[in-house]
Amino acid sequence: MPEKEVSKLSIYNSLSRKKEEFEPINPPFVGLYVCGPTVYGDPHLGHARAAVTFDVIYRYLKFLGYKVRYVRNITDVGHLEQEETEQGEDKIAKKARLEEVEPMEIVQKYTISYHKGMDLLNCLRPDIEPTATGHIIEQIALIKKILDNGFGYEVNGNIYFDLEKYQQENDYGQLSGKILEDLQAGSRDTAGIDEKKSPHDFALWKKATPAHIMRWDSPWGEGYPGWHLECTAMSLKYLGNKFDIHGGGLDLQFPHHEAEIAQCRSAHGHDPVNYWVHNNMITIDGAKMSKSAGNFINLDELFEGRHEKLAKAYSPMVVRFLILQSHYRSKIDFSNDALSAAEKGYNRLMGAVALLNELKSSPDFSDAEGSLDKEILDACRKCNESMNDDFNTAQVLAALFDLSSKINALHNGQLSKTDLSKNALHEMVNTVDQFVFAILGLQAESTGEDGLTDELIELLIEIRKEARENKDFATSDKIRDELQEIGVRLKDEKGGTRFEIDR
């Protein structure tokens, strides 16, 4: 049991549909697998939400003292255009055809683009980032096992998973709540047109057409793996035959994760995962994000304000903050209003963090317990308890805002520093530091990486102060006005002049 835990961590398990206390299989080790991107386009808000969600879960598990192995795959083959029916071109092969390059050039280009976007959002890189094309042998071995156990069949060089056979002793639909019979009934019309025994049987291996570039030799001829297969092969390879947490977007619950369970159960006779965790979806101005609706916003368009839906650019930390303001199981609507509110919230929080840094060296705090102590310590405790309550970052931010108000009031003199004990101050400093930076993964947005900006502004503030003392108001006003023009606002306060930079 890690030391730092106060209450116990509980996680909402999509499989049981309830919150469960978290018990790792082999503490202090935790295995975490998250479905990564199919790298055929630039990352967008959907990618951002999933990445930030599981980044915070990864960070928090490490904060609790667990040794986490975080595996997130790169899908670089096998993901077809029509996911449900498994028809159409491979997404990466299609993009390669359109851009007139080799498929692996598409993979390289958009893997770099994905990493860049997630780095800007301050998401830690996973510990292992396996690719589907890099694990063809493991996938073929898994298919063999499924075939040996009687849960697959071959037709014309394609291998399908036999859902009817599986259903005899298992429950396909257990995770998503879908009922196989209803599904089959709903798609009866298409049942006859393909070679599958049953319309929801999914492909384990697809025969390559002559034009298909991405192809490998297999016992069933040249082809490529089905989309659901890679995650089973790679998660089990790197995390063991049964592991702790599997994450992904809610849109992957069916059929992708359902198929993963079926593949593992039919190969190994047991469930692959103890806790299934799904982040909810995003909407844009209330509508589903889609290319046809014209509300499909890439991260770089967002960060640079290059999209007709956007009133301005929003920084990576503002996007991260907006994502964290909701619990990961709630929907999030991205709109200019929501982004603009998140920007204000983020700036307010980071402003308080900066003030706390000034406060902490003040000698005015009390040695004895103060009247403010309880409220402060309660807010600190709430941060821990909210994270333990299924990673409720929304509640953590609420508690941090309680602390921010106190910090502002202590700074302004509306609250007296003598009402706060040094102990409570220390606890607040620690909590803010841990939760804002280490756990929520927020960071101050750089406004001058060389560190010169602050020093130059401080010099201007000093010159202005002297000018005012010399009654040279022309100069002092000029400094204030010209700074204002380039986005630096001076605030004259009791203790001196502070500045804020518009981001």
What are the residues binding a copy of itself (CB under 8 A)? 69, 101-102, 104-105, 107-109, 112, 125-131, 133-137, 141, 216-217, 238, 446-450, 452-453, 455-457, 459-460, 463, 466-467, 475, 478-479, 482-483, 486-488, 501
CB of 127 to a copy of itself, least distance (A): 5
Closer of 172 and 224 to a copy of itself (Cβ): 224
Phi, psi of 32 (to 5 degrees): -130, 120
Closer of 225 and 255 to a copy of itself (Cβ): 225
**Spatial separation of the C-alpha atoms in residues 21 and 490, rounded to whole Å:** 50
Closer of 220 and 435 to a copy of itself (Cβ): 220
CB of 450 to a copy of itself, least distance (A): 5
CB of 308 to a copy of itself, least distance (A): 26
CB of 104 to a copy of itself, least distance (A): 5
Q: Are 153 and 160 in contact (CB under 8 A)?
A: yes
CB of 9 to a copy of itself, least distance (A): 24
Q: Are 396 and 440 in contact (CB under 8 A)?
A: yes
Closer of 195 and 217 to a copy of itself (Cβ): 217
**Spatial separation of the C-alpha atoms in residues 499 and 487, rounded to whole Å:** 10
Whether the bond between 126 and the residue before it is cis, its omega within 30 degrees of 0, is no
Q: Are 120 and 316 in contact (CB under 8 A)?
A: yes
Closer of 132 and 322 to a copy of itself (Cβ): 132
**Spatial separation of the C-alpha atoms in residues 18 and 140, rounded to whole Å:** 35
Q: Are 305 and 370 in contact (CB under 8 A)?
A: no
How far is residue 368 from each of residues 80, 87, 371, 429, 432, measured CA to CA in Å?
66, 71, 10, 18, 22
CB of 108 to a copy of itself, least distance (A): 5
Closer of 86 and 343 to a copy of itself (Cβ): 343
**Spatial separation of the C-alpha atoms in residues 287 and 131, rounded to whole Å:** 32
Whether the bond between 255 and the residue before it is cis, its omega within 30 degrees of 0, is yes
Longest dimension (CA), the chain: 92
Closer of 283 and 315 to a copy of itself (Cβ): 315
CB of 226 to a copy of itself, least distance (A): 17
How far is residue 248 from each of residues 34, 251, 267, 391, 426, measured CA to CA in Å?
5, 8, 22, 15, 37
Closer of 231 and 479 to a copy of itself (Cβ): 479
CB of 486 to a copy of itself, least distance (A): 5
Give residue for tokens 């255009």: 81
CB of 183 to a copy of itself, least distance (A): 35
How far is residue 185 from each of residues 175, 200, 257, 283, measured CA to CA in Å?
20, 10, 21, 31
267 residue type, one letter: A
**Spatial separation of the C-alpha atoms in residues 337 and 343, rounded to whole Å:** 10
**Spatial separation of the C-alpha atoms in residues 156 and 144, rounded to whole Å:** 16
Q: Are 411 and 496 in contact (CB under 8 A)?
A: no
CB of 381 to a copy of itself, least distance (A): 34
Q: Are 240 and 31 in contact (CB under 8 A)?
A: yes
Closer of 189 and 469 to a copy of itself (Cβ): 469
DSSP of 61-83: HHHTT-EEEEEE-BB-S--EEET
Helices (H), 205-257: 227-239
CB of 257 to a copy of itself, least distance (A): 23
Phi, psi of 106 (to 5 degrees): -65, -45
CB of 111 to a copy of itself, least distance (A): 9
CB of 135 to a copy of itself, least distance (A): 8
Q: Are 442 and 349 in contact (CB under 8 A)?
A: yes
Closer of 137 and 179 to a copy of itself (Cβ): 137
Closer of 253 and 475 to a copy of itself (Cβ): 475
Closer of 244 and 373 to a copy of itself (Cβ): 244
Closer of 172 and 314 to a copy of itself (Cβ): 314
